[in-house]
Structure 1
Amino acid sequence: MAQSRRELAVAGILLVAVTLAAYLPALDAGFIWDDDDYVTRNPVLRSLDGLRRIWLEPTSIPQYYPLVHTTFWIEHALWGLDPFGYHLVNVLLHAASAVLVFAILRRLAIPGALLAALVFALHPVHVESVAWITERKNVLSGFFYLLALLAWVRARPPAPVPEAKRRVPEAKRRVPEPKRRVPEAKRRVPETKRPMPGTKRPVVEAKRPVAAMVFFVCALLSKTVTCTLPVAILLIEWWRRGRVDRRDVARVAPMLVVGAALAAVTIWLERVHVLARGAEWSLSIAERLLVAGRALWFYAAKLLWPVGLTFNYPRWDVDAGALRQVAFPVAALAALATLWLLRRRIGRGPLAAVLFFAVTLSPALGFVDVFPFRYSFVADHFQYLASIGLITLAGATVARRLPRLEKPAAVVLAIVLGVLTWRQSRVYESFESVWRDTLEKNPSSWLALNNLGKLHLERGELEEAAKHLSRAADLAEDAFETHVNLGTIRYAQGDLGGAQRHFEKALALRPDHAVPYNNLAFVLNQRGERLRALELLEKALEIDPDYVDGHLTIADVYARLGRPDDALRHRLRVLELAPERGAPGASSGAGGTGEDPGGD
């Protein structure tokens, strides 16, 4: 036991050290993309009442992951808006998860545990999850997911030893028949009450399923993609014993129920609050199967050969009639069938690992609508936990088939993957560096063009902004964000009519979003159409009651209409939501940004 703990401690120190070293550039990074929605401009982080709202008002935060926002609330109280602290917590959570991967694999007696944990810690495909502050969702939920899994496997008895290894030679098995036989009923101790040789009664073990459930709920409250854990547990039981019976299902039934319930809440909020609805998500069942099949191979390929990693991959054109696209899901099913047929020859491990990969990925394979599908059907952070399946399989294969190469492979992979992760972490240095890298690797990314255009707009570089935004509009005619930003350029150039046309176009594209209402109202207010502006602003604040720009604009409209009390009411609301913007003289504007939340 002491040696086992010593090995865990040494491995833990190693994993934490190499993770911190590889992610040093991320510690110097700033805030990017939707970090403003989650941290820098998130009003619930600013007060004690905000903590209540995080837990009791699901629509007060971008997504109802209250444990994530609670950690942000605590950190905001500790170090304000210094990004270093947020990045450090992300890196430490990822390092802790790598240690948990090692502990779980050792407990399951899977060879190559340290090799697999090193690859998980240092694989560059995980940089998006670790270096992006908003993806606290991934690293926090992953940490609790792995804690729950460790508690579960520690509570279960070891897998039965195969019969061939259990047999004792006949000569050693024979014992002289006792003269006085004890009745069978008195001799036998019931199997369920008989402790393992050399162990005490499993009092502590009895508490571990409860701990697993608590950790599982924490994982769900951080990100509900972890709802697949009970299925992963059943896969492990099948791998260990070759069967899953009713008792196994009964043990995970509470997890299945809680996971399904919270996943349903997320699916509903994704549609009505995050706004994952419309043409971009209108896929048939056949098209969703094509997306899922292709995504599985995409993620496996990025694990095997992590080059060309980018923040926004091209969005595939899905065509159910294209033979090439049909080949992806067919090949995936064929691979699973082959592993099933070979399970007696090569063991159940390869099939269990691949199924873990697929099942854990399933919430992000296209069967459920999530907001990022608007930009791409794949993203590196989607496979954070799922990658453990294939990484474990690779580590075990090397340890079993090429044991002499296990340590050299660990050293070489640690160096190579560490360097790749270091380089990929530098991409996340700033908002601008993320989008410039994206545009270099994916020139057709209208999202990158839009956000770079917005950046130039904020700097007052109107010509450069217009160039990027016009290209974005050409690539995605239905992207309301580009029209919001183009309208803001026209306003800055003094072209109120042009600004109004772009804002009206944005509103027609997204009548369920507060920004176009505010920006159109702002222009109408400048043109003297204040009553119409007031109607639009009331609608904007109905959609998003905490929309600071909306409150600023409506306060200005009320002031011009000679209604100072109403203007003051909205100014005071701004002071509550964003004190730095509620000072006298703070301006409203066609300020609504042409960005969208990252969703998942």
Structure 2
Amino acid sequence: MVQDSRCESPSPRTLSRCAPWLLVLVTALAFLNVPQNGFVWEDMELVAENQFIRSFTSARSFLTPAYWRQGHVAPRRAYKPATMWSFAVEYKLWRLNPTAYHVSNVALHGANTVLLLALLRRLLDSRAAFIAALLFAVHPIHTEAVDWVKNRADLLSSFFILTALNLFVGRWPPGGRPNGAGLLEYSVSAIRRTRSSASQQADPPRADFTPDPKSAALGDRPAVRPGWRTAAALLAFVLAVTSKGMGLALCPLLVLYVLLFRHPSRWRSALVATWPFWLVAAIYLGFLSVFIKVDPPWAKAATLAELDAASAVRTGLTYIGLLAFPSGLNMDRGLTGGGIMGLGVPLALILLLMASHLLRMPAWRGATAFSLCWVALTLIPSLHLAQVASRLLAEQRLYLPSAGICMLLGMGTAALGRSPWGRALAMGLALQFAAATMHRGFDWRSDAAIWSDALRKCPGSARAHAMWAQAYTVRGHLDRAIRACRTSLSLPPVYTMAYLILGTALDQKGDSRAAMAALERTVEGFPDHAHAHNILGTIYYRLGQTEKAVAAFKTAAALNPFIYQPHANLGDAYRMAGHLEAAIAEYRRALQIAPSLVRERSLMANLLLRQGDFRQAAAEYESVIAVAPDHPELHNDIGLVYQNLGERPRAMAAFRKAISLKPKYPQAHVNLANVLREEDRVDEAICAYQDAIKADPEFAQAYFNLGDACAALGRREEAIAAYERFLVLWRGAPEFASEARASIQRLRPQRP
């Protein structure tokens, strides 16, 4: 018997199970080059240099309103403790390895793609859901959200929004027809009935809606514990809004889902189930207003006449253009009349034509309305009712709105049926998106790369020139950085932060007075910029203007009590002036903010040692050694503390540890020898002094102490030679030289 050699097609269930894994694989391939990238721009302040993520104890500050009012990079704008805690957890796991943070972002994006697929499978047919999720996975507009570590907030908030939606839809599944008839279907039916009743007397109107028998039988009573889904969805909503404020979009999306996908007879129970979400949203907004002091978006406009509707329209058209045609992606995009904004109008019309075609098809009517409203609801917060000084346009803000566009495109291609044209369109669009995403990923490999790309696409951007200069300042290319800053300052409108970058570059080059002038311009433009005051204070101090330096440090500390640098600098200033108590107090404040600081803790311990507070000094040295066990100087210092406390074995162990870490450390050899002499082990002490001289033949102190040790054993010639060598090398206090001469005279035999 001849058997059919053709393989059987995979079952729909098999394809359904493979789809999520396929999407995860596609996501990983599209963002394959992301893990090799480093930290860029605000990643430095939020992650790499953020002392608060370095311990769970200090991370508690993320829960306090004071941190978000004064300590955050963008004060009085948001409350995102969940995002910052995610960085703290990652720091605990892999410190400051940028690859790990990037992998986490890619993993979150993959999870969001799978969650979107799960949601759309409940609302669309499986083919449209898969195409939409596939386009979402590889959409180039997501590169800024995924490739930029600090945009974890967008990914995390979207993750919890999609989780909450899936849980809510699982608790309140679409009622009636599985195609999502809901409000639109009911409204269309009502209009038809009204027209019919006007022409003839008929029975009272009834909904032209045929519930699914299985759904009607089950009603709104899931088989197992329905309450847990709502509670879990509410918890996910809390995490969404504490990841980023855009999580508030969940509330209208839930109402929209109920109206579009559930039978009108079942609206009430599902709508009532949304009230806890609205309550949480109201509490969150009240918390922002009262405790974080966040101003509403329209607060910058004094009157309604000042609200810039034209700016909002231009922003919306630009965003629509980027969502539909993600070309020319740019880190520093402005509102211009051409380019992608010019494409926004025709692209918006094309999308509307596609949507209108789908709205005529009963099978896609509810889902099409849902996708359009999704885009509008999630995009509205990104439109500017009043002009703002920060980034007018940011591609990261399109992460969640892009899901609505992908839904629309998925339905549009699926509506073509299983024809070759439909498959070719879906495959071509996905491949084009994936290629653009991977290409854009290379631009995010470093600060210099992303800002060079921005300059190439927008050479007239003052900020792009300034940020490019900052990237080269970090790399030590100071002349190029200074030229770029001067170019930035010559372009309108003036980007005041360029003065800060210019001042930093000039200061590193050694031109302190020019740096001081640039930083003074910075604090004139941004009087509340704590870091600018702090850097200006360091320059004042270097120029000998101590009073102005201390005043600048105090201003910086008052403006932002969550940064340690002003307190550390005040401690240095007081220490050099001899005000030991004040210096210790400032170092303590710095360590309260950043407990892992090694330099400040060791300096404070040294001051305590100088004050004679040996017990407290020992405790501080032990704390800092626990953090930095490989610093030989710390072991040497704590050895001195133990010596003063009379704990000679611990002192010798500390000195030997310092020597093991740094064999050519003459002071540690001398200190060890001194303790050995106290133990009456003079021969061993002499060997230790000789080791110090081998480590540094010019170390005068070793010769003086060696002379004392040799004299104690009656080795006159060796003692005299050591003292004479000391007199040749010594440049310190004259009383030691006098003592050495007296010892020589005493040791030399007296002539008769």
Alignment check: 8 A CA contact 2:472 2:478 kept: yes
Q: For 2:384, which of 349, 363, 366 is the aligned residue?
A: 366
Q: Is the 8 A contact 1:22 1:418 kept in 2?
A: yes
Answer yes or no: is the 8 Å Cα contact 2:23–2:114 preserved in 1.
yes
1:132-211 pair list within 5 angstroms? 132-161=148-177, 196-197=216-217, 202-211=223-232
Amino acid across the alignment from 2:117:
F
Q: 1:54 aligns with which of 54, 59, 62?
A: 62
In the other structure, the counterpart of 1:9 is: 17
The higher relative CO (CA closer than 8 Å, separation ≥ 6) is in 1
- 1:135-168 per-position Cα deviation (integer Å, ceiling 9, x unaligned): 11111111111010011111113332379x9xxx
Deviations 1:118-145 (A, max 9, x none): 0000011001111111111111111111
Aligned match of 1:223:
244
| Secondary structure in structure 2 of the residue aligned to 1:429 | coil
The C-alpha deviation readout for 1:252-281, integer Å capped at 9, x for no partner, is: 2221221243245456788669x99998x8
Give the aligned partner of residue 187 of structure 1.
none
Please report how far the alpha carbon of residue 387 of structure 1 lies from its aligned counterpart in structure 2 after TM superposition.
1.1
Q: Match for residue 311 of structure 1?
A: 331
1:354 to 347, 356, 372: 372
Q: Which 5+ residue runs of structure 1 have no aligned equivalent?
A: 166-190, 318-324, 587-600
Q: 1:505 deviation in Å?
A: 1.3
Relative to 1, partners in 2 of residues 1:285 and 1:242: Cα closer, same or farther, differing over 3 Å? farther
SS where residue 226 of structure 2 aligns?
A: helix
Give 2:255's aligned residue: 234
Q: 2:110 aligns with which of 90, 95, 98?
A: 95
Q: 1:219 to 1:505 in 2, by over 3 A?
A: same
Q: Which residue of 1 aligns with 2:119?
A: 104
- Equivalent pair of 2:318/2:344 in contact (CA under 8 Å): no
Q: Are 1:518 and 2:526 matched, yes or no?
A: no
Q: CA offset at residue 465 of structure 1?
A: 1.2
**Letter in structure 2 aligned against 1:507:** V
Separation in structure 1 between the aligned mates of residue 565 and residue 525 of structure 2, nearest angstrom: 20
Distance of aligned partners of 1:128 and 1:574 in 2 relative to their CA distance in 1, 3 Å threshold: same
Cα distance change of structure 1 residues 251 and 285 upon mapping to structure 2, 3 Å threshold: farther
Q: Which residue in 2 is equivalent to 1:171?
A: none
> What residue number does 1:261 align with?
283
Out of 458, 466, 469, the residue aligned to residue 474 of structure 2 is 458
1:254–1:368 distance in 2 versus 1, CA, 3 Å: farther
Contact 2:259 2:267 in 1 (8 A): no
Contact 2:176/2:263 (<8 A) preserved: no
- 1:428 aligned to 2:452? no
CA RMSD of aligned residues (A): 3.8
Q: Aligned-pair distance for 1:544?
A: 1.2
In 2, Cα distance between the equivalents of 1:109 and 1:335?
Answer: 19
Q: Which amino acid aligns with 2:585?
A: R
> Shift of the alpha carbon at 1:17?
0.4
Q: Which moved more, 1:304-313 or 1:412-421?
A: 412-421
How far residue 488 of structure 1 moved from its aligned partner, in angstroms, is 2.9
Shift of the alpha carbon at 1:217? 1.1
Deviation (angstroms), 1:367: 4.1
CA gap 1:378/1:136 in 2 versus in 1, 3 angstroms: same
**Runs (5+) with no aligned partner, structure 2:** 1-10, 186-210, 605-752
Select which of 546, 551, 561 maps to 1:545: 561
Are the counterparts in 1 of residues 175 and 215 from structure 2 also a CA contact under 8 Å? Answer: no
CA 1:89–1:551: 2 relative to 1, 3 Å: same
Bigger shift: residues 99-108 or 297-306: 297-306
Cα deviation digits, residues 84-128 of structure 1 (max 9, x gap): 111111111101111111111111134511000000000110011
Match for 2:92 among 69, 77, 102? 77
- Report if the CA contact (8 A) 1:291-1:377 is conserved: no
Tell me the secondary structure at the aligned position of residue 528 of structure 1: coil
**Alignment of structure 1 residues 264-413 onto 2, 5 Å:** 264-266=286-288, 287-315=307-335, 347-367=365-385, 373-404=388-419, 405-413=421-429
Residue 328 of structure 1 deviates from its aligned partner by 8.7
Quick one: which amino acid aligns to residue 290 of structure 1?
A
Check whether the contact 2:308–2:386 (CA below 8 A) recurs between aligned residues.
no
Q: CA deviation at 1:229?
A: 0.9
CA contact (8 A) 1:479 1:509 kept: no
Q: Distance in 2 between matches of 1:440 and 1:505?
A: 28
Query: Does 2:572 match 1:556?
Result: yes
Does the alignment pair 1:21 with 2:29?
A: yes
Check 1:253–1:368 CA distance in 2 against 1; reply closer, same or farther (3 A cut): farther
Q: Is the CA contact 1:271–1:277 (under 8 Å) kept in the aligned structure 2?
A: no
User: Secondary structure of 2:308's match?
Assistant: helix
Deviations 1:305-325 (A, max 9, x none): 1110011102559xxxxxxx9
Say which is worse superposed, 348-357 or 487-496, in terms of deviation. 487-496
The reply on whether 1:38 has 2:46 as its aligned counterpart is yes
d(CA) in 2 for partners of 1:488, 1:206: 57
Which range is displaced more, 139-148 or 248-257?
248-257
Contact 2:482–2:506 (8 Å) recurs in 1:
no
The alpha carbon displacement at 1:575 in A equals 4.9
Distance 1:540 1:276, change over 3 A: farther
Q: CA deviation at 1:429?
A: 0.9
Shift of 1:341: 12
Which whole-Å deviations, capped at 9, do the CAs of 1:391-423 have from their partners, x for residues lacking one?
101111211234324443333333222111111
Question: Amino acid of the residue matched to residue 35 of structure 1?
Answer: D
Bigger radius of gyration among the two: 2
Question: How many angstroms does 1:32 deviate by?
Answer: 0.7
- CA separation of 1:23/1:284 partners in 2, compared to 1, >3 Å: closer, same or farther? farther
* Pairing partner for 1:212 from 205, 210, 233: 233
Kept after mapping to 2: 8 A contact 1:466/1:486: yes
What SS does the aligned partner of 2:444 have?
helix
Equivalent-residue separation in structure 2 for 1:87 and 1:536 (angstroms): 37
Seen in structure 2, the aligned counterparts of structure 1 residues 53 and 567 have a Cα distance that, compared at 3 Å, is same
Indicate how the Cα distance of structure 1 residues 438 and 278 shifts in structure 2: closer, same or farther if over 3 A, else same. farther
Aligned residue identity for 1:219: A
Task: Quickly say closer, same or farther: Cα 1:160–1:278, change in 2 above 3 A.
Answer: closer
More displaced stretch, 144-153 vs 557-566: 557-566
Query: In the TM superposition, what is the alpha-carbon distance from 1:502 to its structure 2 partner?
Result: 1.7
Contact preservation (8 Å) 1:224, 1:263: no
Report matched runs for 1:460-499 at 5 Å: 460-476=476-492, 478-499=494-515
* 1:449-483, Cα deviation, whole Å (9 max, x unpaired): 11221232333333211110011112256433211
Structure 1 residue 333, shift from structure 2 partner: 12
One-letter code of the match for 1:262? Y
What SS does the aligned partner of 1:475 have?
coil
Larger deviation, residues 55-64 vs 537-546: 55-64
Structure 1 391/263 Cα, relative in aligned 2: closer, same or farther at 3 Å?
farther
With structure 1 as the length reference, what TM-score do the two structures score? Answer: 0.81
Instruction: State the identity as a percent.
Output: 27
Structure 1 residues 345, 117: CA separation in 2 closer, same or farther (over 3 Å shift)? closer
List per-residue Cα deviations over 1:318-362 (Å, max 9, x = no partner): xxxxxxx99999x98999899799956773443432221011112
Deviates more, 1:229-238 or 1:555-564: 555-564
